[in-house]
Chain A
Amino acid sequence: MNSSAPFTPVIAGSAAAAAAPVTPRNLAHRGGPASPTADALRERFGAAVKRVDVVWGETTVVVDAGRVTEIVAWLHDDPAQQYDFLVDVTAVEFRDGEQPIEVVWHVRSLPYRRFLRLKVLIEKGQKLEVPSVWATYKSADWLERECYDMFGITFVGHPDLRRILMWEQYREGYPLRKDFPLRGRFSRSEQLRQALAANPEARYSMDELSIAQAFEDLPEEMRRRLSAGEKTGE
């Protein structure tokens, strides 16, 4: 046991005693003062900032898809911004088929007590691709994987972009897209057929099978298929 370890927790105030807390009171539906970060972003990145909205007191900055990595790295590193906490990465598809798909990043600056929403709009028909922010925020790892899993948006630069909530052999598409029916794309009988046909050995991915001698213990037929490049047994 480490004798220098404290037995009582340190009781402290809050992270940013100097900055005023943000209280959601009397917020206007639209308009109102935008976050100072929006102006700073405009000044620094010019035309890459396409639009600034303030809805219910929250500032949304719509930016150019190509420069997301750069903008996020600047927000994280600039001493006057310090957006050090990535809250969430997600996407929105509207019921109106003409509206672009939005990829949304929520970031917080813990030292300045600020909240910012970054958005990239992907017009219909364009490739669903945005840069990954994993290099700046490690928390983007699973959040981007989930967004890929649910919407099929590719995060370019993510080190390990594969499905996370759905299983790797899932073939029905991307569940949170609006063209995906609530009950699933395949019929119940087809879903049952696929579930029954799944090979129990498919529990391990190739990634795991490459560890040590687990490969040796597999049946001959499975080894053959895996060697032929199959990702997991199906």
Chain B
Amino acid sequence: MATTKRTVDVQLSTSGLDAQGRPQRVPLVTDESGNVMTLDTPPGIEPELAGDHMLINIGPQHPATHGVLRLVLELDGETVVRCIPHVGYLHCGFEKIGEYRQYNQIIPWTDREDYLNSPGNNVAFALGAERLFGIEITERCTVLRVMTCELSRIMSHLVWLGTTCIDIGAFTPFLWAFYQREAVYKLLEDWVGARLTTTITRVGGMAADVPDGWVDQLKHFVRTFPKTLSEIDRVVTRNGIWVGRTIGLGVMSPDEAINYGLSGPMLRASGVAYDVRKDFPYLDYETYDFDVAVGTAGDVYDRYLVRMEEMRQSIRILEQAIARLPDGPVNIDDHRVILPPKSRATSDMESMIHHFKQVMEGPRPPVGECYVAVESPKGEKGYYMVSDGTSKPVRWRIRPPSFVNLSAIPKMVEGHLLSDVIAINASIDIVMGEIDR
């Protein structure tokens, strides 16, 4: 009996096997009278239902995809059989642009990738560039950067908490979370004048020292914020709907989580206590007293618990940072990388030369390369920079935690219901700006 194929060859672009080793496609073949013949039926699916699978498309314009993520789902009834994610709708070529910019000029670009964690990205980039230049930053700058990182972690987790609550059907925590996020934005605005795209660091220092009274405002925030956190905790943590919609979803075992490259709260929820701040410390994090929150089940609920606990630990770190904030200069005293004060640039010859050379040519690091990772709210964020001795990097690579975490979504949603896909996707805490770059 002659058969006509209605789809292209299985060998077209893949080996035909997915990550679990199952056939990746179900090619539909008809006989002469037009009846559908299924060739390979994935195991675990009723053969007579295989032809009735439904293709459903979520996104890229969908409020629950947290940006322009597009998921194509194959459904058997309401159960997800396969998930094909599509990314790249927001691709702007940050890494390419970085090759045409001086180091300080790249810092504004880092704001725009993971835009919920802009100050943290600025710090990460500055740390990378300083390693490449061989610069040791001042004590005050180190402590200010720790404050920046932890404020930015709280900010990012609050957005995650609010939006995830909305995804799952709770509106009130969203308002509470965004009210506190506004408080953090106010702090950043008072410091550098910007809220979302802060560009708070420079290579060798910060954009500015904190203004008078800023530390008192921070103390006020540190004092009042835990109250909101415990309110949200009281409303959400033992809420029947919340628990019912999050427990047991998207489970990753510790070995799987490591092998899939998950990092941050995603990895720690699975029970792996890997935190860059503890294991590969930067900014003297080894001298701060804080705990790493670790889950046990690796499901959506544990990811929520881990993020809540991380915010409390951030408050602990902030308290210690406030207590130890030393006086002294913020920027290093090397005017080959840090601009001299404008008043001196117009009055003294040497400063003017430094000013001119930095603006026109830019500081030049020695030939070399480095990979610097920080614990961003999403996971391990790394910058890999290669210098050929000129003022612009040869390669500026962003190691995007959301990108690697999202790559595990086909594995996590498989076998769950369609409505659970939203909860699982929310639990990854993706920022499309970082995924697509």
Contact = CB atoms under 8 A, between A and B. Distances in A.
A142 B366 contact: no
A85 interface: yes
A106 B97 contact: no
A213 interface: yes
A85 B397 contact: no
B26 A85 contact: no
Given A24-B282, A84-B258, A208 B17 contact: no
Nearest to B286: A21
Contacts of B240: 1
A189 interface: no
A106 B382 contact: yes
* Smallest CB-CB A-B distances: 4 pairs: A139-B261, A14-B278, A142-B407, A212-B53
B13 A162 contact: yes
B209 interface: no
Given A1-B243, A211-B82, A15 B274 contact: yes
Contacts of B25: 207, 210-211
B361 interface: no
Interface string A198-217: 00000111111111111100
Interface string B361-372: 000001011111
Nearest to A99: B388
A164 interface: yes
A115 B27 contact: no
B324 interface: no
B111 interface: no
A55 interface: yes
Interface string B34-66: 000000000000000001111101000000000
Contacts of A87: 261, 371, 373, 380, 382, 399
A18 interface: no
A80 interface: no
A106 B247 CA distance: 34
A93 B302 CA distance: 42
A104 interface: yes
Contact of B74 (A30, A142, A211, A223): A211
B357 interface: no
Contacts of B93: 175
A234 interface: no
Interface of B: 5-9, 12-15, 17-19, 24-28, 51-55, 57, 72, 74, 82, 84, 87-88, 91, 93, 95-97, 100, 131-132, 134, 136, 237-238, 240, 243-244, 247-248, 256, 258-262, 271-275, 278-282, 286, 291-297, 301-302, 305-306, 308-309, 366, 368-373, 380, 382, 384, 386, 388, 390, 394-395, 397, 399, 403-404, 406-408, 436-437
Contacts of A208: 55, 72, 74, 84
A70 B309 CA distance: 40
Contacts of B295: 9-10
Nearest to B21: A159
Contact of A166 (B91, B259, B275, B370): B91
**A contact patch SS:** loop
Given A29-B368, A137-B259, A12 B291 contact: yes
Nearest to A212: B53
Interface residues of A, number: 84
A31 B212 CA distance: 44
A187 interface: no
Interface in A30-53: 30
Given A15-B272, A88-B382, A211-B26, A143 B258 contact: no
A78 interface: no
Contacts of A6: 296-297, 305
Contact of B72 (A2, A150, A204): A204
B309 A212 contact: no
A81 to B, nearest CB: 14
Contact of B272 (A110, A138, A176, A229): A110
Contact of A167 (B9, B27, B88): B88
Given A10-B295, A87-B380, A141 B279 contact: no
A145 to B, nearest CB: 9
Interface in A97-153: 104, 106, 110, 113, 115, 117, 137-139, 141-143, 146, 150
A14 B51 CA distance: 49
Interface in A8-29: 8-16, 21-27, 29
Contacts of B134: 27, 29, 56
Given A87-B261, A207-B24, 10 more contacts: A90-B397, A113-B280, A137-B261, A159-B18, A204-B72, A206-B12, A207-B84, A208-B72, A215-B6, A227-B8
Given A113-B280, A159-B19, A210-B7, A141 B294 contact: no
A186 interface: no
A56 B97 contact: no
A58 B371 contact: yes
B279 A215 contact: no
Contacts of B12: 206, 229, 231
A72 interface: no
Given A1-B243, A106-B371, A229-B8, A11 B286 contact: no
